[in-house]
């Protein structure tokens, strides 16, 4: 095992519970190889998820993908950073590209696509992606998430349905009572 692997594993094991240990191990890992995509990805995640420094995180994600465009572990986190930073057009382009990469967890990327459409309140699109996601699932690991997404979308579409006027309802009730 290379020394970088040791430090990278330590950083991955420490994150997010011990940020100080994570940073120390990442610094060692990057000093051995400053082009290691996993180390760059974890550093970007730290910037995005802990410091909410999305622009800095994007730079590290871009650097990692510039080194290896097939670094499949980077895509879900980079997409989440773009969504959190409201860089929606960048996010959907990256989602669409990520779905073409061999070996990537398509279900995880489809979940990001659902999040994209949910942010835009395009619930019909969410339902289409849910169908695609159901067809892509090969085990029960994501079953709970599917159910929760479906419930959430149903609740949101209910909220957006136009409410009937209370007076109209009362008139209907009185009309029915008179007829009876």
pLDDT tens per residue, range 4-57 = 899 999 999 999 999 999 999 999 999 999 999 999 999 999 999 999 999 999
DSSP state of 163: P
**Residue 166: pLDDT above 60?**
no
Which element (helix H / strand E) includes 67?
A: helix 54-67
Going by C-alpha positions, the residue among 51, 3, 66 that lies closest to residue 29 is 3
Alpha carbons 2 and 23: distance in angstroms, whole number: 19
Alpha carbons 3 and 33: distance in angstroms, whole number: 10
Alpha carbons 20 and 165: distance in angstroms, whole number: 57
pLDDT score for 180: 59
Q: What is the CATH number that goes with domain 3-179? A: 1.25.40.10
Residue 41 near residue 60, CB atoms below 8 Å: yes
pLDDT tens per residue, range 66-117 = 999 999 999 999 999 999 999 999 999 999 999 999 999 999 999 999 999 9
pTM tops 0.75: yes
Give the residue with greater pLDDT, 50 vs 160: 50
Alpha carbons 77 and 61: distance in angstroms, whole number: 8
């Amino acid at each position: 095992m290379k020394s970088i692997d040791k430090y990278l594993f330590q950083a991955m094991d420490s994150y997010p519970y011990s940020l100080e240990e994570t940073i120390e191990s990442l610094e060692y890992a990057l000093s051995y190889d400053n082009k290691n995509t996993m180390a760059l990805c974890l550093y970007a995640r730290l910037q995005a998820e802990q410091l909410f420094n999305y622009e800095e995180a994007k730079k590290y994600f871009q650097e990692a993908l510039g080194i290896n465009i097939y670094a499949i572990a980077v895509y879900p986190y980079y997409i989440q950073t773009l969504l959190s930073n409201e860089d929606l057009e960048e996010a959907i382009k990256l989602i669409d590209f990520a779905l073409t990469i061999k070996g990537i967890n398509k279900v995880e990327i489809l979940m990001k696509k659902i999040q994209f459409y949910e942010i835009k309140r395009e619930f019909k699109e969410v339902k289409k992606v849910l169908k695609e996601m159901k067809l892509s699932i090969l085990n029960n690991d994501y079953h709970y998430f599917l159910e929760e997404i479906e419930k959430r979308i149903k609740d949101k579409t209910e909220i957006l349905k136009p409410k009937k006027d209370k007076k109209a309802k009362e008139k209907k009730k009185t009309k029915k009572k008179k007829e009876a």
